[in-house]
Structure 1
Amino acid sequence: MRDLIEEIFNGLPVPFSFGQILVRRRECAGFVLLHRDDASLNLLETYRDAEGAIGIAKYDDAGNYRPLKTAPNLRHGWRLELAAAEQLRRALDYFYPGRLAVFAAWKSGYLKTTALRETLDRQSGLYRVAAKISDPQINDLVTDFCRSDTGCLRTILWKRDRNRVIASTKLPSEKFDPVYDQGTASGPPGSATPATAAAAATVPLLCQEACNLLVAECRKVVKDEDV
């Protein structure tokens, strides 16, 4: 059986950026990963196994737990040295769970997306009420929750509903463009800085359907309105 992830992964150019991570080749052999902001720094804490990524990704610079691994708050000050491509692939999956598989499916033309309304309609129990959220509320919530500078670095591929309405009209168009580097977005919605030519290629973090955290926020919006 074909391993699409391996095929796509082995074809990636190095160096490349993946979310807030920069991947380079080591001078001897293997790879080195570090925070993109730390690319010019030398005094970094060094790790030498893929599992080091688990601890690095767990907390932000202030020591706060990171429930959303694709949030733009990956901590700084580390360097991860890995000997082989298999370790690199494993480490990237620890940093951004499932994103390599989604990228491979998208690159191969097999990725299926799910509209937000469809995701909400299939909720049950305590989360069933989330489907009552209005379109204007979705527009505002997605703008605040998914924005790249403070919310999430994923590129949104899903639509609001089966009519293929855009997820939020208040987010910049780049938020929905897989070619755009979300890591360069540093301002409020509508003011994202255009991607510039860089030495490293960019592998996008793609979002094919609303995450559980966004669903929970939809429920919260509806419940708060009922209070």
Structure 2
Amino acid sequence: MSDPTPDAATDDGDDGDDATDDTEAPTVPPIDLPGDAFDAVLDALDDRDPGEPVRFEGFTVTRADDGGYVLADGDRSDPMAERELHEALAERAPAVTDWYAFERVVGEFGPRRAFLRWIEDADGETVAARYAALAAGIERAWGELKITATVTDRGERRYDVRHADDAGVPVDDLTAHDDPLDARDLVTFDEKGRYRPLKTAPSLASGWVFPDLGPRDFYETVETIYPATVANWHREREGELDVTHWRETMERQSGIYGVVKTWDRGEGYEHVNWVAEACCDDSQCLKRREWQYDDDTDLDVDGGDGAFPCREPCSVVVSAARKWTRLESEQPRTYEFDLTPSEKEQVEDIIEAVADGRTDEIREADTKEGANRYRTRFLRAKLFDDEGNLGGVPTEPDDE
């Protein structure tokens, strides 16, 4: 399935005849017409004036002045009673249940509807193609989530949500949930039990599944795991994403965070580049940074490739910037160390490993790695004094 940009939808669902070509028609699974779907069609017709159609993919239905109904399919226009209408719609159950799924079950236009339609490419594929794909299972990625959408024999959408690392794991081997609010506990801590202050960090724990969600519960589950991501994704696609850049965000800070406002060097904004490089990389956050230094000045570092946008510096960025503001206010001093070339490379390796979160991947026996624990402890034993201070000496006397 393609990754479409939603077109403007109408209140009446899909319209128009199926396109014909030489390709083999998709195999649509058998679909029954639920009574709720048929009743919804009658209610929609009752809400319209006679002759005003309810539109489905490939045909329309209108209420006639005499109380009957007219089904128009291409060049045909067949008057019929309610029982005949039911039989005709049952023969077209995929199109009717598709209309019902989005018009009545999902409901109002907005991020939820757009997201659910994007899952199955409802604005780019025919009902037949989508139902055939749904029968096999349509898979989508959203951050670290693996989403699988399917359809029942009544045209009802069902969704399986799990960590991408658990793709292919049987449901019985995972902890199953059916309440979207359960997701609040799942996102609180990472695999090691550490608190996750940033919900879009790529540190979501695995081992769980929501195996059988309806459309509304599915949307609520995704939004609980990744708050506001669908809403901002939708705003961006509609051209309505309101971005608040660094300077404007910092000017709003007060109290203990007000110190960040002093960290402004006019045209020199390299410090903000450092912040964005440290916090807003794909390895640290799944959002795609859209904020810049200000309206006229872009940052020099990449904003990432995430599916959902970041519209302003988050609280984690602001908190980190506050600490760095204080640290960067210190006057630099020059220190002299005696390091062998290998020790210099080892210091570089240690910084790289910590910054990239790779220390747990370095085996204790692999002393070729600069950030190896035993090798690092040897360097500490050699260079640190009894008080735990690095044994370098300043080349200039302390001013104090």
CA drift at 1:70: 0.2
1:144 pairs with 2:247: no
Q: Percent identity?
A: 26
TM-score, normalising length from structure 1?
0.79
Count of aligned residue pairs for this structure pair? 196
Q: Secondary structure of 1:53's match?
A: helix
Identify the match of residue 221 of structure 1 among 324, 335, 338. Answer: 324
Match of 1:164 in 2: 297
Q: 1: CA distance between counterparts of 2:151 and 2:234?
A: 28
Cα pair 2:112 2:230 within 8 Å, conserved: no
Q: 2: CA distance between counterparts of 1:165 and 1:156?
A: 11
Which consecutive unaligned segments of at least 5 residues does structure 1 have?
183-203
TM-score, normalising length from structure 2?
0.46
Larger of the two Rg values belongs to structure = 2
Match of 2:312 in 1: 209
Match of 2:118 in 1: 12
Match of 2:248 in 1: 118
Question: Which amino acid is the alignment partner of residue 75 of structure 1?
Answer: A
Shift of the 24–7 alpha-carbon distance from structure 1 to 2, 3 Å rule, reads same
The 5 Å alignment of 1:1-227 reads 3-13=109-119, 14-26=138-150, 28=152, 30-42=158-170, 43-133=173-263, 134=265, 135-149=269-283, 151-166=284-299, 169-171=300-302, 175=304, 180=305, 182=306, 204-226=307-329
Q: 1: CA distance between counterparts of 2:227 and 2:215?
A: 17
CA drift at 1:160: 1.2
Q: 2: CA distance between counterparts of 1:26 and 1:10?
A: 12
Question: Which amino acid is the alignment partner of residue 8 of structure 1?
Answer: A
**Greater RCO (Cα-Cα under 8 Å, separation 6 or more):** 1
Q: 1: CA distance between counterparts of 2:288 and 2:235?
A: 15
Cα pair 1:15 1:24 within 8 Å, conserved: yes
CA drift at 1:27: 6.8
CA drift at 1:40: 2.4
Which consecutive unaligned segments of at least 5 residues does structure 2 have?
1-107, 120-137, 331-400
